[in-house]
Structure 1
């Protein structure tokens, strides 16, 4: 397929126009016109770009791309090296941030729910552009047991705030750096809230509002959506797809 066709398909499929975001969603760096091999990954770091070059990729599709609000506008240093590598090898870069978090089937929150076997997952549509989700476990389990569920599903032990012996069943979650949604989650009356990162203030919010908090890793909670999107594109358009997981403990 052509670069333009891929950009238009993803704009429609991910409903890009519906989101007010912190970075441009769509084609960020223009490469060759014809696309046969795609690489997906969480973030457009140099290691991912180098691996895409090794695989002779025509395009890279990521969750965390370039050109974030408030970052320096000049193309120097690290940014220059990344963009130079893409342009030298004629590789397109596509980035999809909030649209990929929110997609009802292939998004980070939807796929995270499947990994954790959460029942009846649904977006809380009236808040946060539909980025906050809720659902429930099949049966109650202790907070400590649920830490084990997260560790097995995500490959890293979460930071848990709360009494490890307390039972939990009703959950809310938002992948990535959404720790400040904890107050919204507490108002929903759920037992626990899951996100990727944690701040000093998160501890007090959890303790004072009686809600468990799990910081399960920004990277870890956002690996599944981009993989699902890549597999979808490979099936729909007979593309060769490689997901590259660049390890990140954060």
Structure 2
């Protein structure tokens, strides 16, 4: 079955409430391809590798978390950007990208989906008085040692995480997928035993150690694989489309 590209975009925009979320990039349709969609390919980042894979899979639309046209970047269509856009336009493939709207969605969002993967019960936003906070806080069914929880993370995500081991068992967890290491202060204020995100900064080590919590950096790419899959699956069910998630490995 095929549907109009405009219908697909309108439903994704509505579902993720893109009009009400301020972001660092345009959300929704970033590159317009053929007017009818039968097959969606999804992935984390619209890299050349993923664009090429979408061409190979004969996709009509490519759905990603990290798209193009970020604030502060050069607007010139040269080099890497030119090659990516040339491939998409040359094969009439649309690009749909959802950044913060896909991080914060209460059902399909990266943070909620990661919690389901890691068996964390979501309790609420990382900052209780700020429901727009990207990160979340929750709890485990049973207390675990930092190393045992890090082992769970590694098994689920398929890569060994960076662990800064704190002194206590892990029951209360704060997390923010991707590059959310800057939220560690909010996590500490929320009284967590462990804070998990994708990346780490030099000062993250000191914040964790001096505040007596554990910290895990599990990979920006690895922690953000699940929201776009959930969104692709939803759209495929909604419109009886084909959906294929393609994971282009990224160690960061």
TM-score, structure 1 normalization:
0.97
Stretches of 4+ aligned residues off by more than 4 angstroms? none
> Which of 114, 126, 138 matches 2:141?
138
1-structure distance, mates of 2:239, 2:137: 33
2-structure distance, mates of 1:106, 1:112: 10
The answer on whether the counterparts of 1:27 and 1:94 sit within 8 Å (CA) in structure 2 is yes
The answer on whether the counterparts of 2:122 and 2:136 sit within 8 Å (CA) in structure 1 is no
Deviation at 1:208, TM superposition (A): 1.4
The answer on whether the counterparts of 2:147 and 2:165 sit within 8 Å (CA) in structure 1 is no
> Which of 161, 172, 184 matches 2:174?
172
> Which of 22, 39, 42 matches 1:40?
42
Which runs of no fewer than 5 residues in structure 1 stay unpaired? none
**RMSD value over aligned CA atoms?**
1.2
Superposition map of 1:42-121 within 5 A: 42-121=44-123
2-structure distance, mates of 1:127, 1:150: 27
1-structure distance, mates of 2:228, 2:198: 16
2-structure distance, mates of 1:223, 1:128: 23
Deviation at 1:119, TM superposition (A): 1.8
1-structure distance, mates of 2:107, 2:156: 18
The answer on whether the counterparts of 2:125 and 2:131 sit within 8 Å (CA) in structure 1 is no
* Number of aligned residues: 249
> Which of 10, 13, 24 matches 1:11?
13
2-structure distance, mates of 1:76, 1:62: 21
Q: Secondary structure at the match of 2:36?
A: coil
Q: Secondary structure at the match of 1:166?
A: coil
TM-score, structure 2 normalization:
0.96
Q: Secondary structure at the match of 1:130?
A: coil
Structure 2 residue 155 is the aligned partner of structure 1 residue 152? yes
The answer on whether the counterparts of 1:113 and 1:121 sit within 8 Å (CA) in structure 2 is no
Deviation at 1:128, TM superposition (A): 7.5
> Which of 192, 214, 217 matches 1:215?
217
